[in-house]
Structure 1
Amino acid sequence: MRIVFMGTPNFAVASLSALKNSGFDIAGVVTAADKPAGRGQKLNESAVKKYAVENGLKVLQPLKLKDPVFIEDLKSLRADLFIVVAFRMLPEIVWNMPTKGTINLHGSLLPQYRGAAPINHVIINGEKETGVTTFFLKQEIDTGDIIFSDSIPIADDETAGSLHDKLMVLGADLLVKTVKAIETNTYNEVPQPQGGELKEAPKIFKDFCKIDWNQPSQTIYNFIRGLSPYPTAFCTLNDKGLKIFKAELETKKPDIPVGAFLTDGKTYLKFAAKDGFLKLIDLQYEGKKRMSVEEFLRGMRL
């Protein structure tokens, strides 16, 4: 069975590596075009491309997925199955091409948390469990029939970064299981449940990341964890941005206004929420590097 793999970030590399190490025939890899980045505007290659090149895999980098040249190149690979992990929305002319269909690995337990940022949103919403799901692509995003899923608990101090790494490994294993089942025709597709309350996971933009200190302290604590290390929750301090990567929850009711802070100028800096404090541990002040709160206070008079 010939496979074309489509993906871009590190999350997808684990899956591609697992498939290759399991002996599957990777006919080609589709990933994002190189983009200029940094002060020198040097072309930056995706993590998937770097892995593919290092392992001698054919790479396609279309700017437009409906480009006739790309479509012909894709057809020439004669793939039986397409696999999508952290890529882009595919047009029907692409996902409907292979004889065995196109499958996707998604970082949530579908049908919950459809969308671009499931790992962030499950933590922001205070969920206790999440997982990964493999399913066949259909026209509407993340709605296809489920093949397999696997779940893990979410720790109380979990961050989007730590959960990303756990799901990356869990997802790679589930994907290998899924492809083996498709190859041997030993699986049953299950339509996604309809009805009930569905929680979404839309793409996160900068404005979303600003902390509202009027929220309950637990809600803000989840918010900080769910956006750490990227794109990072932030507030303002002395009219400059302050990114918060890690904080601790203090349930003592504040006797200062919401959004105000307390500090001893040496070891702690904590902001008042509606019903408690958020004690900052790891942060980055605008124009400075990321540092501990102790380092920050040594160079900052508040």
Structure 2
Amino acid sequence: MLPETVWSMPPLGTFNLHGSLLPQYRGAAPINWAVINGDLETGVTTFFLQHEIDTGNIIDQKRMPIGPDDNAGTIHDRMMILGASLVLETTDKICTGTIETKPQSELISANTPLNPAPKIFKEDCKIDWHQPIDKVHNKIRGLSPYPAAWTEISDNNHQKTGLKIFETEIISDQSQKIGTISTDGKSRICIAGNGGSLLIKTLQLAGKKRMSAKEFLNGFKELHTYQISQS
């Protein structure tokens, strides 16, 4: 946060661009948390700075959809374009004196709880395979491509290896125990979850590069001997 002595210097005020529809998702990771929570819409907001972070009066907002195949990266890239446009429009309104602001308190309702967007740490990215399968899928989308959701797989000797997962598809198969890894050894990797399974499309073994399931299986033939480590 800039010190007040800096952001109070401009005679017309200082504004910020935030990657959410404030007052929702105040904090450091608004794009990630919107996707993690399965939201269907997000947007950008310009607002004047005040003492508490992300709480200043709203100048303007633009909305954008979150599609079922979007992840944090695709939303970020589209939001850059939308945000740049909003910054220009906001600057024009300030310069021409046509600006109208709205306190965020007017947008807060007891019936609509506020979702926070705190900074994301490594442990926040670990996958809990006992969560409903759609929540696991959304978590992977919301953390892709960075910082990336991760899990651990273990072999028959209980040796654990870290595995990042970037892209998945929900399939209805619930024939396996949660945490079971199944593969055809060629191009298909599935992990059983709570209420379905995830088809793993892109992933990264610890110490290796990110790759497709097919590329992964070309160099990791023994995957069928592994399972998800739940500890």
| Pairing 1:229–2:150 present | no
| Pairing 1:206–2:126 present | no
SS of the equivalent of 1:213 reads coil
Structure 2 residue aligned with 1:157:
69
Q: 1:181 aligns with which of 93, 112, 123?
A: 93
Q: How far apart are residue 298 of structure 1 and its match?
A: 1.3
C-alpha separation in 2, matches of 1:280 and 1:140: 41
Q: 1:194 aligns with which of 108, 111, 121?
A: 108
Structure 1 residue aligned with 2:229:
none
Q: Give me the TM-score of the superposition, normalised by structure 1.
A: 0.69
| Corresponding letter in the other structure for 2:115 | K
Q: Give me the TM-score of the superposition, normalised by structure 2.
A: 0.90
Structure 1 residue aligned with 2:2:
90
Contact kept, 8 Å, 1:217 with 1:251, in 2: the verdict is no
| Corresponding letter in the other structure for 1:126 | G
1:112-151 alignment, distance < 5 Å = 112-151=24-63
C-alpha separation in 1, matches of 2:217 and 2:146: 23
SS of the equivalent of 1:168 reads helix
Count of residues paired in the alignment: 213
Cα offsets for 1:106-126 (capped at 9, x unmatched): 000000000010000000000
| Pairing 1:286–2:230 present | no
Structure 2 residue aligned with 1:248:
169
Unaligned runs of 5+ in 1: 1-88
Cα offsets for 1:274-302 (capped at 9, x unmatched): 11001110111011111111111111112
C-alpha separation in 2, matches of 1:237 and 1:231: 19
Q: Which runs of 4+ in 1 moved over 4 A?
A: none
Q: How far apart are residue 194 of structure 1 and its match?
A: 3.4
Identity across aligned pairs (percent)? 54
| Corresponding letter in the other structure for 2:6 | V
| Corresponding letter in the other structure for 2:138 | N
Q: How far apart are residue 97 of structure 1 and its match?
A: 1.6
Contact kept, 8 Å, 1:112 with 1:200, in 2: the verdict is yes
RMSD of equivalent CA atoms: 0.9
C-alpha separation in 1, matches of 2:73 and 2:87: 21
C-alpha separation in 1, matches of 2:52 and 2:138: 30
C-alpha separation in 2, matches of 1:190 and 1:289: 47
Structure of greater relative contact order (alpha carbons < 8 Å, 6+ residues apart): 2
